């Protein structure tokens, strides 16, 4: 195989610096499966990695991209053969193992998910880590007995990748979804995704020192953390649960134990990258709308084109600063090659 294009992140003068380079397979981290990439995507973690805004890269240099979908070019593992359509999200991809921003991607076979029937390579990346995380958060809330009859569900970071997809999925499942956003201009977009109500961040006082406030939410999905998560803990109703998956607004959490011991509120951690393969495959089947997944269906968005826009590989690095500034909306798919 000749040289191919990759977006690799280097550490230079103590700073992270991403750029396009030519690589050969021998340059890539080891693995049994070589994938010809068709699509990748941009997640908040990718933007942190490429800009150095967050110290998420654990091994330099590293090809960025925590997601990829494509076709197997070669496999030294019997579970996969050339021509198989596959996807990979999470694990060490794009942070400690060369990731999805490359025409060829090499990964351990244990990380590879066969593309579910009924999901295209584009749709797999319109979902990507964001869609998988939304699905995992909803699944954790369902395990904690959340159902539409229990009350309203709040989604923070509503216009983000995970937020947008979570709103669409929850609305399809019949929930009354309240979207919390910092973008005053996004109300129509959020309603079109299925939000029943839109709450502007500026209109909410999150700085109360009271240990408990009026109970408003049966459940919540939080990608923001910090003050927002502390406020959620104070406003989730009796026996409700919060799925905490992100830190776009802060990493600290100042709370009292009262929501937990006086209202039975549950704080559920969500880590998509390390999700074990059996659950990973089931959730991807559910995302594809496959009833044989053995889980409830209803997560497959019916409008991928509305939820995701596509950028050519060459324009990838223009997306990162916008995402760090909180200016992106929905999902960004990166077209690497193919189709
Ligand atoms: N645990 C996991 O497995 C996992 C998986 C995926 C993502 N994550 C994390 O989840 C978060 C969201 O990821 P994403 O890929 O959906 O990112 P994203 O597309 O950039 O969405 C983040 C959203 O959060 C809101 N936001 C941004 N800055 C904020 C601030 N300073 N204060 C309050 N809200 C702010 C914005 O929405 P509004 O303007 O609408 O408020 C923004 O669109 C990130 O922290 C990411 O690292 C974790």
Q: Which residue's C-alpha comes closest to atom 44 of ligand 1?
A: 246
Contact 317, 18 (CB under 8 A): yes
User: 42: which strand partners?
Assistant: 332
Domain assignment present for residue 131? The answer is no
User: The tokens 């244990």 sit on which residue?
Assistant: 110
| Judgement on whether residues 150 and 121 belong to the same structural domain of the protein | no
| Judgement on whether residues 167 and 240 belong to the same structural domain of the protein | yes
| Judgement on whether residues 30 and 61 belong to the same structural domain of the protein | yes
The CATH number assigned to the domain holding 46 equals: 3.90.180.10
Domain assignment present for residue 237? The answer is yes
| Judgement on whether residues 159 and 265 belong to the same structural domain of the protein | yes
Confirm or reject: Cβ of 133 under 6 Å from ligand 1: yes
The pLDDT of residue 54: 85
| Judgement on whether residues 15 and 121 belong to the same structural domain of the protein | yes
Q: Reduce the DSSP state of residue 197 to 3 states and report it.
A: strand
Tens digit of pLDDT for each residue in 307-326? Answer: 999 999 999 999 999 999 98
Of ligand 1's listed atoms, the one at least distance from the Cα of 330 is: 19
Per the structure, the complete domain to which residue 231 belongs is given by 146-269
The pLDDT of residue 294: 63
Confirm or reject: Cβ of 182 under 6 Å from ligand 1: yes
Domain assignment present for residue 282? The answer is no
Of ligand 1's listed atoms, the one at least distance from the Cα of 273 is: 3
The pLDDT of residue 339: 58
| Judgement on whether residues 106 and 44 belong to the same structural domain of the protein | yes
Contacts of 200 (CB under 8 A, 6+ apart): 181, 182, 184
Confirm or reject: Cβ of 270 under 6 Å from ligand 1: yes
The CATH number assigned to the domain holding 152 equals: 3.40.50.720
Domain assignment present for residue 134? The answer is no
Kindly report the CA angle at 128 between 125 and 134, in degrees rounded to 5? Answer: 140
| Judgement on whether residues 121 and 160 belong to the same structural domain of the protein | no
Domain assignment present for residue 189? The answer is yes
CA dihedral sign of residues 237, 186, 304, 98? negative
Confirm or reject: Cβ of 245 under 6 Å from ligand 1: yes
Domain assignment present for residue 195? The answer is yes
Confirm or reject: Cβ of 275 under 6 Å from ligand 1: no
Count of structural domains, the chain: 2
Last-in-domain residue among 217, 245, 269: 269
Domain assignment present for residue 240? The answer is yes
| Judgement on whether residues 111 and 173 belong to the same structural domain of the protein | no
User: 16: which strand partners?
Assistant: 11
The pLDDT of residue 290: 77
| Judgement on whether residues 65 and 97 belong to the same structural domain of the protein | yes
Domain assignment present for residue 287? The answer is no
The pLDDT of residue 110: 98
| Judgement on whether residues 16 and 72 belong to the same structural domain of the protein | yes
| Judgement on whether residues 107 and 35 belong to the same structural domain of the protein | yes
Of ligand 1's listed atoms, the one at least distance from the Cα of 271 is: 3
**pTM for this one?**
0.97
**Cα(324)–Cα(200) distance, integer angstroms:** 20
Sites in the chain below the pLDDT cut of 70: 1, 293-296, 339
Please give the structure tokens belonging to residue 36.
């010809």
The pLDDT of residue 67: 98
Contacts of 335 (CB under 8 A, 6+ apart): 38, 39, 310, 311, 312, 313
| Judgement on whether residues 122 and 152 belong to the same structural domain of the protein | no
The pLDDT of residue 296: 65
Last-in-domain residue among 269, 288, 322: 269
The pLDDT of residue 298: 77
């Amino acid at each position: 195989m000749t040289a191919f294009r990759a977006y690799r992140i280097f550490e230079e003068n103590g700073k992270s610096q991403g750029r396009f380079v030519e690589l050969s397979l021998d340059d890539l981290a080891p693995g049994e499966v070589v994938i010809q990439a068709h699509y990748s995507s941009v997640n908040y973690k990718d933007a942190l990695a490429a800009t150095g805004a967050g110290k998420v890269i654990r091994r330099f240099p590293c090809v960025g991209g925590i997601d990829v979908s494509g076709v197997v070019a070669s496999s030294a593992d019997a579970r996969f053969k050339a021509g198989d359509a596959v996807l990979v999200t999470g694990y060490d991809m794009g942070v400690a193992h060369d990731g999805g921003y490359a025409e060829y991607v090499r990964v351990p076979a244990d990380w590879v998910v066969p593309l579910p029937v009924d999901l295209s390579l584009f749709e797999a990346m319109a979902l990507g880590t964001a869609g998988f995380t939304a699905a995992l958060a909803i699944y954790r809330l369902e395990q904690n007995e959340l159902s539409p009859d229990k009350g309203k569900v709040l989604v923070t970071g509503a216009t983000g990748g995970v937020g947008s997809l979570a709103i669409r999925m929850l609305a399809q499942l019949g929930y009354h979804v309240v979207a919390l956003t910092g973008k005053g201009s996004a109300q129509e977009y959020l309603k079109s995704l299925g939000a029943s109500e839109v709450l502007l961040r500026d209109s909410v006082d999150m700085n109360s020192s009271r240990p408990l406030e009026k109970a408003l939410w049966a459940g919540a999905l939080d990608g923001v953390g910090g003050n927002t998560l502390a406020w959620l803990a104070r406003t989730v109703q009796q026996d409700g649960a919060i799925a905490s998956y992100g830190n776009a607004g802060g990493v600290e959490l100042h709370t009292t134990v009262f929501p937990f011991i006086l209202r039975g509120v549950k704080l559920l951690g969500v880590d998509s990258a390390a999700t074990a393969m059996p659950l990973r495959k089931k959730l991807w089947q559910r995302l594809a709308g496959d009833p044989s997944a053995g889980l409830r269906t209803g997560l497959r968005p019916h409008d991928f084109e509305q939820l995701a826009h596509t950028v050519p590989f060459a324009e990838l690095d223009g997306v990162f600063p916008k995402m760090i500034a909180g200016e992106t909306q929905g999902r960004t798919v990166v077209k690497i090659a193919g189709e």
